[in-house]
Every structure is written in structure tokens, then in C-alpha cells.
Chain A
Amino acid sequence: MKFLRRFLIRVANFATRRRADQRLRDEIAEHLALQIEENLRAGMAPAEARRQARLKLGADEAIREDHHAEQSLPFVENLFQDLRFAVRMFLRSPGFSLIVIATMALGVGATTAIYSVIDATLLHPLPYPNPNELVRIEDDLPGVGAQDVSVSVPEWKDLENSGIFQYVAIDFFGSSNLTGSAQPTRIAAKVVTPNYFAMLGVGAQLGRTFDPGDNTPGFNLEAVISDGLWKRAFGADPRILGKTVRMDNDVYQVVGVMPPGFRDQGKTSEERNTEAWSAAGFAAVPFPPALRNSRFGTAFARLKPGLPVASAQAHIDALVASLTKQYPADYPAQAVWNIRLIPLAESLVGNVRQSLILLFGAVGLVLLISCVNVANLLLARASARGREMAVRQALGAARTRLIRQLFTESLLLFVLGGITGFAVLFCARKFLLQFVPESLPRLNEISISWGVLAFAIVVSIAAGTVFGLAPAWLMSRLDLNTTLRQEGRGSNGSQQRSRLRHALVIGELALSLVLMIAAGLLLRSFWDLFKVQPGFNPSRVTAIETWLPVPNDPKTDIYSTATQESVLLREVLRRNRTLPGVEETAVGDRAALPLGHGKDDLNMSPLIREGQDVQSSQPPLIDTSFVSPEYFRLLGMTLLRGRLFVDQDLEDTPSIAVINQAAARTYWPNQDPVGKRVRLRAEKPDWTTIVGVIADARTESLADAAIPQVYLDIYQRWAKDLAFFLRGQVDPATIAAQVRTQIQAVDPNLPVFHAATLDDVLSSSLSVRRFSMEMVALFAATALLLAGLGIYGTISFLVHEQSREIAIRLALGAQRRDILKMVLRQGLTLAAAGAGVGLIGALIVSHLMASLLYGVSPYDLSTFAGVTAVLTAVAIAASYVPALRAMRLNPNTMLRSE
């Protein structure tokens, strides 16, 4: 306490120092005057009176200094002194300071920008209480190549009873058709088990969420709505509770409104913006019977407090083993059923993590290069200030004091740079966010927060410490005698210092080579992907989605059979064909929408081949789409064998299917699949005949050429999530409204949404790749620029240092060409060393990022060679200017001037 008080007094003194000192001065003067007066009165001569008074008082300077040292904070004062001096030095050479600050602003700003993205996506905890307890439960059947196949109701019950979870919830994300307001709207809706909100740990702002103890087997006809929907569709009606809403023609009672900040968990931004939740037990109509192999929905759970995921996983493994033994028919050994618990936060980020880590690595390199550049500049300046340092040392400045002074200067530069970078980032954040792909998870949580500021400051201080201390240390290590004796003749760089400077430039070149090669490889991958033949023709195709209501009571469903639905579809298609500009139309389900849907929308069916797969064994799963006959022609998919669907194929004619070549190759190797019969629904005994094989099209992923797919005729099997396709020259601004008019002319209760051209869909499917490619390319360009500046600076400095030598050579008759060659050789040597080190680094890095590449080997020779050539060219260009200067040196003036 006492120490603290004394410290506070010292701090206070520090602030009022000037005043206290002035007062001491005044008082001492006063005292002397009085004493002298008295001495005079006592009869002393004036001079003697003054002398005696002074003697009696003692040494007033010493008194004041003692008082000062005792009462103040010498460290802080020195710091302030150093800072003042540093600022004066900056102002004296503003060009140098600006370059250093700008370089650091670039490095720190870029790093901070990427950090803010990582902070939001990877580091920030999920916005639910105790987010570490939340896990996603994924069932895998690796034996049949199926991942994340959802859970069944009996498995859900088993998990609930396993004793390691507080809650296990199932959610089933989809659309719902909200009717009753002015325009039927399609809203993102989720069917969840009643314990869903209890699992997330979030309550309603108005009313309540579902009762976690509710055991209704089917829908309990209660709805919870989002704050957004409440405000938009119900005008924030405070008496909303108990009112009814109509979703998919079912009447639900609103029991709660979620708080404004609440966002659902989910992998897509669409799912995170879910606006209505209904609760169901998933075990009665309209859900299929609760069988072990009837899987749907995604399971999530909240672990018991304090239970680590790893030990929960061990429990689950034991549970899986015992269930497999108990139900051998449902869990055939060859399917290798298992369950994985994935921390929810991790599962939501998914494969974006890799791209982000790559970006962070890339931006880290840029930062490192900026630091090296600045260190280099500081060293160059050190030589210019060698004399100043020597004089200070000769006058008795301690070496530590000099280091501190220099270190303060460089640290101040680094921190100023960092703050500038942060300030620019902060001002430009809105602009920059446009470039972040929308598909990035948790995009809306990106913010330039205090944490990000702290990061920027810590990074600049750390960088300043590492890269400022070494130059300061070297600068203070002077041979006084030589430096002073040289009388400012320029050449005073110590051997050690120039070695360090060369090492820095080599490092800089190496780092930028690594970045450029990474960027080159990503660029090649992206280009290959962009240029890949997708196997379908997306140009001039627009897709527009709609959603047929699925009432909970099948009897009230007016589209319960394919025949009923086909009336609607054919009529809408006919009307769409009459729209201006439209040449062709087709319809399919959402899974038929190329590249436009997340993994969760995949429609996987078991593929039971006649004579090959027995009923009890786990059949392989195959990607299934429902399409109308015109779909293949509209998208330009080629038929290889057999036939496509025709208008005569109806619900009551034999069920047929078309497969792609990948499916033929995978499931009927060396056979003709046409005419083979399969069953695509385990519970229904009807056979479907394969009538045709089409060429592979990359409709699931541009990067993946061969995903087995099966297409069914939409007029034979109904689908609820529909996408209408139009080919032709249509007006993208009005087409959605035109199609809405047509669809609602047939059924006014249908919502129409998500109009997009396939070209846009295609390019946005590459958005994350494009983003990381563009970013890394940008960083690489920056790195190249910085490296170029670095080598330019170093060579200029070398020329400056050697100008005397060059002048003598010239005077002795050396050819100017030789001088040029000599300087260029120095630049080239540095470039070669940098490239050598960089190539080794690049090999390591490209090996690590192999999984992010497409169609290009991580050791692609042409990329490596091309990038090295570019780097060398830049190095030569950067050395050329100082080389020219050296060549044009006038030996006469040069030698005379000294």
C-alpha cells in the first residue's frame, strides 16, 4: 500500500514536475535574498554576504536534482525524452519516416484484416452459453463410402439415454411457405425436437421456446419465430403470442419470439437466418415409421458439464459397438457404422479453416517482409548516423542508453505504422468486407473490435522489438576511433552490419518467392477450375425456386401424388415458355440445381441393385435428382447410351431412371447398365429400370469430375423443393417477378424466390477459392514490390558506400560497362541466394497446401521456373537504377569532394 501510494505520488509529481521545480527555485532564491540581507545587516561586505549565504545553503543544483530523482520516475522521463528526440529525428527526415510507417502500416494492416476474419470465424466462441459443450453428431458409413448420413429416431433415443448428454436434439432445415400476409413468402424454417432451444441454451424474448419435456410424437403445432419475422410480417405485434400462423397450409400457434440478436447455428448463411421453428417428435405422421435405417435430420447435443469431447467419444464408440451387436440387420458389418462427435464451432467452419490458415500464413509472410524491409532501412540509416552515435559515445553516453534511444525510435516507428494500418483498416472496413465471399461462415460476425486493435498493437510491438532491437544493437557497436577518424567520409559500415543487411535482403527475396509460388499455384488451380468443361452449358440459364407446401396431414396435401403435381408443373412450364425471350424451360428439384446448393441439400438414396445387393445389407448411397424430360437438353447434357425421359413416362407407367457415366462405371463396371433394375427406396418394393446413361457433368462440384448420380422423372415421383429453369435472353431484373406472376396464376399460395443465373451460381461456387487466390496474389504482389524496394535500397547503399572505390577505378581507366556489370552482379548474387533459399521454402509450403490445389502438381515446374524468373527480373531491374548511377559517377567531382 505504502509503495503504491509513493508510486502514485511520484506519478503525480511527474505530471506537476515543472511546477515543483519552479517552486524550489523560487524558494531557494528567496532564502538566499533573506540570508544576504541579514548578512549585510550583520556588517559583511556585499560579496562576502553572498558567498556566506551560498555556503550556508549548500549546492542548490544538487538539492534540486536529488529532490527530482527521489520524487519522480526517471525511467518514464527518459522514455519521454527519447520519444521527443525520436519525433524530432522523424521530422528531420520525413521521407524515411513515411516510408517506414507506410511499410509497417501495410504489413500490420493486412495481417490485422485477415486476423479479424479469423477472429470471427475460428476464434470467437459461438453465441450460445457454454459453447464448448455443444457438439454436432455425425453418423458415417465408411464401408459404403457415405459420410454424415443423419440419424434415425431410435438412434436419437439411444443417444439421449446414453447418459453423457444434457440434451440431444435433431434439426431438419428446410423451407416453409408462409401464407396469410400480402405475398406468400418462402421462409427458412426448421423442424426441431422440442429440446432444441434448451440444448442451445437460448430463451425467447417474448413468450417461451418449446418445452424440452414435450413428447408429442408428431408436430405439436407450436411455432417460435425470429425477431426479424415478427417485425416484418407481424409489425412487432406485442400480442402475437397465441396467434396463429399458416406455414405450408398448417396452422401453428406462435408461442415465442426469439431475441433480436439470436441467430441459429448452421453451415450456410441461409440456415443461420432461420426465421421459424416448429417442434416435432419425428416419430409419427407425417414422418416415416421410426426405423433404425430411416435416417434424416442432423443431430446436435449438449454434453454434460465438464465432460471433454474425447471421453464422450469413447462412450459413444462403446455404445455403437453394442448397438451393432444388438441389431446386426440394421448395422451390417461391411457398412462400418460409427458416430463422430464434432465440436459445434469446428463443424460450422468446416473446410474454410484451411483457406483461412493459408491466408494467415501468406499475410504473415507479408508482415515479415515489411519488417525485414524496415530493419534494412534502419540499418542503412544507422550507417548514416554512425558519426552521431560515435560523438554521443565519446561524450560519455552509455551503450545501453544509446540502444534504448535507438530502440525507442524504431519501436515508435513500428507502433505508428501499426496504428496507421489499423486506422486505414478501420476506415475501409465496409469497403473491404465486400470482397469477402458471402459463403464464409459467420461472415456477419466479422468486426474490427478492441481485440483486433489489441492484436494490431501487440503485433507491431513484437515486430518492433524483434526488428528494431538488432539494428539498435549493431548501431551502438561502434569502433569510436575509426568512426570519428573517418570524418564522415561515408564508408563507415562495419563488416557485420553489411552482412546482416545482405542476409535481410536475401531473406526478403526468399519469402516473397515463397508467396509468389503459392499464389502462382493457386492461380493455376483457379484458372483450371474456371476453364474446366463443366459438362453442362450454364450460359443464359436462369433458375428460380419455389416450394410446394408439405402439410402435416397428408390428406390435405393437394400435391400428394406426382400426377397431381404434374398438372401444376406442366401448366407453369407452358406459361414460362410464353415469357419474352425464353427459349426453353424445364423443372427439377433443388438437388438438380447445378452447384447451387450446400451439402445438406444433397438428396442421397440407397442404391439397391437387382441381384447384387441383398435387402439386409447396407447399399451404397447415390446422389439423386428429380427432373423433367427437357432438363438434359436445356443444360446441354449429352446422352451416351439408351434414351432420356419422354412425355409418355407417367406415374402409372414403369418407373425409369437415367444415370451418369460415373454411376455406370462405379456400380456396373464392364457392363451395360441400360435395362438393369434398381430400387432407390428401401421401404418400397417397386423396381426402377435404368433407361439411359449421360456423360458426366460437374453439377455437384467443379473440382470433382465423377460423382455417381441418378436422375428420376419428376412426373413419376413428386418433389417439393422445385427449381424452374429458363434458357434464353431474359431480363434478370424482372424475370423473378414475371415467373412469380405465372406461378401464382396457377397457385396463388406458392412462394417464388432465389432467381439466379447459372453463370452467377457457377462463379459464386468458386467464391472462397477465388477469395483466397486473389488475396494470396495480392499479398504476393505486395511482397514482390517490397522485395524490389529492399534490393533497390541495398544496392543503392552499396553503390553509395563504394562510390569512392568506383571513382578511383574510373579514374584509373575502368570501363563504365564494367562498373555497371559489377553492380548488377552484386544484385544478381543477392537474388540468386534469395531464390535458392526461397525455392526450398516454397517446396515445403506447396507440399503443405497440396489439398487446396486443383489440377496442378504442388511441384509444378513451370510455376516454379516462371516465378523464379520474375523475381530475378525484378531484382535486376531494381539494381539497374543504382547501377546506372554508379556508372555515371563523375570521378572528378567525387574524389575532389573529399
Chain B
Amino acid sequence: MKEKPDVLQGTLALMVLKTLDVLGPQHGYGIARRIEQISGDLLAVNQGSLYPLLLKLEHEGSIASQWGASENNRRARFYRLTEAGRKQLRAQTRDWEQTAAIITRFFNVKAEDIL
């Protein structure tokens, strides 16, 4: 059986930020679900590891949280992107795209292109 790739260090944070950016305030379970959906079950996110990350991001000021009621009226903590988080997301997105572009170019390179 082919193993699902682990989430790269740091990319999970980026996914969380992007999810919050696109969908607005979400509770932890919601974020986990979205990530799972978007990555199309390709990614094995150990869902538990999401929560320490959320704590850390909140400490760093990229996200903020407050208690609220979930869809089915359970008490849940809702996370939202802060201004600092938005800035960080933009910067990281740029970095990521750059890296991805460079890597893509490397993959597309053929011997005759260089010679």
C-alpha cells in the first residue's frame, strides 16, 4: 500500500491560515474537516496535532479565538485570522509560490534546454 505523504513541516500552518482566510471563522473540527476535504484524503493529517498548532499560532498572534456556538449548537472555540495572520499568509503564499515555481521549472527542464 502506498503511504500517504506526511504533512511537511510548516505547511500545515499555511493550510490552516489559508482555510481561515477563505472560509472565515471556523472551529477546530471544521478546520480539520476542510483540510481533509481539500487535500482529498491524500494527506494523513494526524488531526490531534492540529490543536497544539492552533495554540501556537494564537500565541504568535496570527489567529485569534473566542468561544461560540457550532452549527449544531455545541459550544466550540472559533478561530479567525488576524491582520498579522493575513500578512503572514500573504508573505508565505508568495514564498511558497516562488519555491513551487522554481521546483516546477526544475522538473520541466530537459537536457536540451540547458545545453
Contact = CB atoms under 8 A, between A and B. Distances in A.
A24 B46 CA distance: 15
Interface in A44-64: 56-60, 63-64
A31 B70 contact: no
A590 B115 CA distance: 111
Interface string B23-43: 000011100100000000000
A24 B72 contact: no
B29 A66 contact: no
Given A20-B55, A58-B46, A66-B52, A31 B74 contact: no
B48 interface: yes
Contacts of A60: 48
A34 B59 CA distance: 25
Contact of B72 (A9, A28, A37): A37
Most buried by B among A9, A57, A59: A57
Given A34-B29, A35-B29, A37-B72, A27 B56 contact: no
A624 to B, nearest CB: 85
A681 interface: no
A70 B27 CA distance: 24
A56 B47 contact: yes
A20 B49 CA distance: 14
B29 A63 contact: no
Nearest to B54: A27
A741 interface: no
A875 B46 CA distance: 71
A30 B29 contact: yes
Contact of B51 (A9, A13, A63): A63
A30 B72 CA distance: 12
B56 A31 contact: no
A802 interface: no
Given A57-B47, A58-B48, A67 B55 contact: yes
Given A31-B29, A34-B74, A59 B59 contact: no
- For chain B, give the interface size range: 20 to 34
A34 B74 CA distance: 9
Contact of B77 (A27, A35, A59): A27
Contact of A57 (B27, B48, B55): B48
A438 to B, nearest CB: 62
Contact of B55 (A23, A37, A56, A58): A23
A126 B38 CA distance: 77
Nearest to A63: B48
Contact of B52 (A9, A24, A30, A33): A24
A552 interface: no
Contacts of B51: 24, 27-28, 31, 63
Nearest to A5: B60
B53 to A, nearest CB: 9
A826 interface: no
B15 interface: no
B13 interface: no
Nearest to B27: A30
Contacts of A13: 59
Interface in A1-49: 9, 13, 20, 23-24, 26-28, 30-31, 33-35, 37
B112 to A, nearest CB: 45
A28 B59 CA distance: 18
> What is the interface residue range for chain A against chain B?
20 to 34
Nearest to B76: A30
Contacts of B77: 23, 26-27, 30
A30 B47 CA distance: 12
B76 A58 contact: no
Given A28-B51, A31-B51, A58-B49, A9 B70 contact: no
Interface string B58-96: 010000000000101011110000000000000000000
A579 B29 CA distance: 106
B47 A27 contact: no
Contacts of A638: none
Nearest to B67: A26
A31 B52 contact: no
A680 B71 CA distance: 116
A468 to B, nearest CB: 38
Given A58-B46, A58-B49, A27 B28 contact: yes
Given A56-B47, A59-B48, A63-B49, A31 B32 contact: yes
A65 B49 CA distance: 11
Given A20-B55, A24-B55, A71-B56, A31 B49 contact: no
A301 B32 CA distance: 82
Contacts of A66: 52
A63 B52 contact: yes
A27 B77 CA distance: 8
Contacts of B72: 37
Given A27-B77, A58-B46, A58-B47, A34 B70 contact: yes
Contacts of B28: 27, 30-31
Contacts of A59: 48
B18 to A, nearest CB: 20
A30 B48 contact: no
B75 to A, nearest CB: 8
B61 to A, nearest CB: 11
Nearest to A33: B74
Contacts of B27: 30
B74 A28 contact: no
B93 to A, nearest CB: 22
Give the most central of B51, B52, B72: most A CB within 10 Å: B51
A59 B70 CA distance: 25
Interface core residue of A23, A34, A56, A67 (most chain B CB under 10 Å): A34
A23 B59 CA distance: 13
A566 to B, nearest CB: 95
B78 to A, nearest CB: 11
Which of B28, B48, B77 is most buried by chain A, counting CB atoms within 10 A of its CB?
B48
B26 to A, nearest CB: 12
Interface of A: 9, 13, 20, 23-24, 26-28, 30-31, 33-35, 37, 56-60, 63-64, 66-67, 70-71
24 contacts: A9-B59, A20-B55, A23-B77, A24-B51, A24-B52, A26-B77, A28-B48, A28-B51, A30-B27, A30-B29, A30-B77, A31-B28, A31-B32, A31-B48, A35-B29, A37-B72, A57-B47, A58-B48, A58-B49, A63-B46, A67-B52, A70-B52, A71-B52, A71-B56
Given A24-B52, A27-B51, A31-B48, 18 more contacts: A20-B55, A23-B77, A24-B51, A27-B77, A28-B48, A30-B27, A30-B29, A30-B74, A30-B76, A30-B77, A31-B51, A56-B47, A57-B48, A59-B48, A60-B48, A63-B46, A63-B51, A67-B52
7 nearest CB pairs, A to B: A67-B52, A58-B48, A58-B46, A34-B29, A63-B48, A57-B48, A27-B51
